[in-house]
Structure 1
Amino acid sequence: MKQILLFICIVGCGNFAFSQVRALHFDGSNDQVVVSGTSKLNGPTKITLETWVYVKNFNTSPCADCAPIIFAQSGGYRFGTGNGKAVSLALKNGNSIVNLKSTATLTDNTWQHIAATYDSSMIRIFIDGRLTDSLASVFTISYNSTSSDVWIVDPVTGYGGILEETRIWNYARSQSEIQTGMTKKTDSKAKGLILQFSYDEGVPYKDNTAITTVIDNSPNKNDGTLTNFRLKDSTSNYVLGRSYCDTIAYSKFSVTRCGKYPLPSKKKVITKSGTYKDTIKSFLGCDSAMTIIVTINKASASIVDAVACDSFKNPLTGVVYKKSGSNKVTLTNSVGCDSVITFNVIISVRDSTFFTYEGCSSVKINNGKTIYTSGTLIDTFKRKMKCDSFVFHQVRINKNTISKKTLKMCKFVVCPTNKNKVFKKTGVYFDTLINQANCDSIIEYTVLSASSNGIINAKACSSYKSPSLKYTYTQSGTYYDTLFDENSEGCDSFIKIYLVLNVPIQEKLTVKKCRSYTVPSGNQIITTSKTVKDFVKSKLGCDSIAYTIDVTIVNANVGITREINTLIASTTNGSALFQWLDCDKNYGKIAAETSKKYTPIENGLYALEVKENQCIDTSSCIIFAINRLNAYKNFNLIVSPNPSKGFFTINANNPLHSVGVSIMNVKGQTIHSWALTELTRHEFNVKLSPGLWYVTVESLEGKQVIPMVFE
């Protein structure tokens, strides 16, 4: 009865904290929670996505990785699983998608924590706090919109199971942060937390149809809308989630025992008085830590040897023994413990008596001798009252057992058979238990290091980032790096790196080109004289050749001036060569027109090809109209404005008589005409489509065609 009351005190008196959390069940058909999009949900360039899952049916998803649990409709991120049972993460990189899928798979009908992170250079996936997969990729997460919704479960591809503690962070959480956050609810003011659904709005398995909103326990209050849930009974409704402990229960009590006291955890038997600490699991599965004040009182023992014929009467109890043997009487001594009196009785009623003994290593028989080997010993007693007899001592000596086991450690390992022993170095260690024969069972532990070693042969351009990302090397050589807690055993991985860096070849070039020069890489076109740098990439994408190029750009002067009906090249270079071209005849060469000046014999479009300064260049086409007005002293026509929007004026220095004015298009068709008796100054106003037109003035004094541009 005392033990029962003590257990109740341990559970009831400690500061015990236990939670049976609530969760949300998705039927895998069309259930989902819709979160209205914000720039905080559609903007992180670094991210952590995590949730507890209890998958009841992976086959509600039609493909291996198309059951997203957290799905940004802006395309930025998609995190979940599928009928392949792996954990997958997809991130948007511009017009492409970067994917990582776990090699480890999830288990049906089991609570498991899944998480994925991206820190701008490395994608990682964690299952139950353990890093399972990673992918190096440097990019910036992109989003189609900052206002797109975020879905908790895609209603089309489906997720059939339970979710609990779904969170989004705007930074990549470390493995230790993920492990710590797995077993407790996160503070709503936690730095970097942008969404946290705990699904504790409803009552498990009850009618929750009045609830429409899932509360966001983050500073952003991005509440979600329950969509297509039944919110009744055990499916498509609020249900019970995991059980976990937030704190440890503590208690302190005293016990008094005789000889020994096994601790409640059964890990140790106490044989000396003192204060001891012990920890057990409560009936709820949480730690209960105890401080026990133990008082050990000693039992006493004595031996009485008696020889009798036929029978022997015990003087303490009055019991009559008719057979030889050891008979124990237990009384209570002064400290309340057993006082065991052993009566070794020999009854000489037969010629022989047999005693059987069993012990570890040695045993003390009735005659006071200590025996170390199994066998039979015989004592002969002289007859008294005709009771002489032979006593046979049958002895069985049990042996201690020895076993060997191998342990692997990172920085330390706890002895499996004694939690109070911690091995911090490799080597051979021993622990002793009690075997089935109640003898010593000696276990030899060989402790080995679980750290790993590897070699990387690396080639890079001008620099190389170590696997741990802690070091950047800028010279070829042999280097060493350590990945902490990241090998298959969760221990340090020591890496030796043989590094070869590709250093570019330096070359200088001197180039003289006409009009422009394209550098060897094709990345620049140079149009002015100067010194430029250029780099040509190798197959590895490194700069294999670094050019320093002195570029001289020379040009041919293709300018043209006009004097009445003669076109004149603008260049003053006496060694220049010329060729006049007819633009209307596909830039055909005009026969024998290779001088600096050219007088066309008809209206048209003309251009000039010039060879000078080691360059050949061609001018743009110019419009030419023959001026047929007879020249006389001080004669000149001024048309303004030109270009015109429809209104213009013609001025003559000397009066013209019997004047006809007409406007023609480029096809020679007359659109407008006027007849004037005399022209000194006259204003005109017409409506014409934008483009080139010709104004023709004819009089008794002569004829002149003037090109005009109308806007």
Structure 2
Amino acid sequence: MKKTKQMIKTLCLTLALGFGVSVEAQTGAALNFDGVNDKVVIGTSATSSLVGNNKVTVEAWVRPTSTVGLGMVVGNYNSPGNSMQFMIRRQNDSWVFWAGPGNNTTYSNTPLTAGSATINVWQHVAGVFNGTVMTLYINGVASATAVTSNTFATATNSLMIGGESASEFFAGDIDEVRIWNVARSQADIQNTRNCEINGSAPNLLANYHFNQGIAAGVNTSVTSAIDDSGNSNTGTLTTMALTGATSNWVSPGGVTSGVSCNGAALNLSNAGPADNVVLPQAISTNSLVGKTKVTVEAWVRPTSLTGLGVIVGNYNTPTNQLQFLLRRDNNAYSFGVGTGVTALYNAVTTAVATATINVWQHVAGVFDGTVISVYINGAFSASVNAISNYTFATTTNSIIIGANGINENYNGDIDEIRIWNTNRSKCEINTFMNCEIPANATNLVANYHFNQGISAGSNAAVTTLNDATSNAFNGTLNTFALAGATSNWVSPGGVVSGFTTALAPVSLTVNANPSLAVCSTNSLSLTGTGANTYTWTGGITNGTAFTPTASNTYTLSGTNTITTCSNSAISNVTVNTTPTVSAVSNSTLICAGQTATLTANGAASYLWNTSATTTAIAVSPTLSTTYTVTGTTNGCVGTTTISQAVSPCTGLQANNNSVSAISVYPNPSTGLFTLDLVGTTDITIVDVLGKVIYIQNLADGKHTINLSNFNNGLYILKAESNGVVKTVRIVKN
């Protein structure tokens, strides 16, 4: 619904002052309640219309000045408490919607919405009961729901606004109270909450604008709240001061007074001459001629399922001039296609009961050059092969909305008609059917939003249906009453007027980060979300672990099988080599307390179980010990262990008896040891296991012993002369 130019009603009181000044007193736009004893009593005439029904919608604009205790907005909860059908109430700082049968206390309520009621702020509150679910909307947004089941019975309690006999009085301002005997959709509520519905509308039981009195003036004679629904459910103001800024008519209200709800659709009636809209011949002759494909879309809300009702098309007299026809066929829909110059045409009809009375439905007919198909609310419904590969030729029949010359006249509302000279896919239909395409689009020939006139208002001058495309294929309204709720511009439409956000076909995501790194020995899983079927390249399964052997780019294709919309995404997987880590010791065997050097290799960085982070570490174990080193390269980890052997070296001990002086040097040595001996000496060298590796009787003097061919480590040299023994530890490294 597009904003109309705001008009502010004022009551002009010209005061004959000495300076000739004219003072305009502002007309009331809302009603203020003092929270003590103010209320508007309406009686039972409105609620009696609900008997036997199980649906209701209650709306109001409210501006509370207190969030303490209970405050009735509108409803017939009263004494006795077993005679309630519905109620909207402020419960402390929550808005709550209640519903019951009207003849017992088995009523239900939506959960508390703590903090939803805001002091001194205008809010739109609506309660909707559809027979099984209660929904509370705050400013057009669903805020709470409850499941219940009721059929309304006769209630003896009066309908009231602002209070009731149980002393639950509302403190603050109330504006635009409406009561409907249907469950209004969220789109309905959003379309009309910011404007006034002038006069009657289908299923509207009561409609209070509160545009009365003088704002904060002396209004002691203005004691009735006028019902603008045409049902004369007038309310009586009770115990209200009607003077000053409290307990009186006030301004501003929740809605700017005089701002009427724009039309959002067009209601067509064949009660008299059949309503119809004739579209320019140029659509047929300029935009379709020579084409072999067409798509026609419309939102429809039929009020009759009897006979045939043209939605849009150029099936007329002569009947051999048909290019396309979208039509309601009793309680089904059909789409027909022909060349436009011969009687060669055929159509597909959906299954019976696909058309639903008083319910908005999106209907699309598609011809792809071979197959004629119909989609209902974006779902495929039926198809048939064309009897010929039609190519559209020039036709003399006009394209008409709502009727033709052979009395196939449509009854009900129509919104959002689009004509394309291509075949739209199921995905494309689903993507854009719930929004408006603002103006132009590729292959879009004509685009009608129906956002014109004043809903159910006086629209005698609004006789042109505007085409939103730059083609300006505007249509001409014929035989419409253009006043009241039928044969006129109406609201709401099939989509929220001005809403242009298309549904994302499929929004695919892969994991939290589509670029991943993995080590060569590790597994990972790639998980796509946003669709309901998934296919990956590389033979992998969505969400299932696998072990990649090389870096690769994997492509995901995801499809929503309901809308047939699909999309793709990629994931770049980098495979890093897991390092092979090794370690060596500079001495395979040491004596307890000696030091060995352990050196790691094969990775970029290291961590030893000693907490050291260097490549080489020095260790001095007293027992044989196993050391662990972890190496890391590009985030990949390899681990190895190394055992350092330790000997206690207690098998041979030094003898302190005096022997010929003996010295061994250098010690440690890389293999060559020099011995200085005094006197002849028996020299024996053993390893730590006691194995003899050298034995000689050496004379007095210097001698060189070569152990270069033996392993690094500890050896014991025993020198014996004249029964005296001396041992020396020597180390080869």
Relative to the length of structure 1, the TM-score reads 0.33
Highest relative contact order (Cα 8 Å, sep 6+), 1 or 2? 2
Greater Cα radius of gyration, structure 1 or 2: 1
**Structure with the higher fraction of residues in strand conformation:** 1
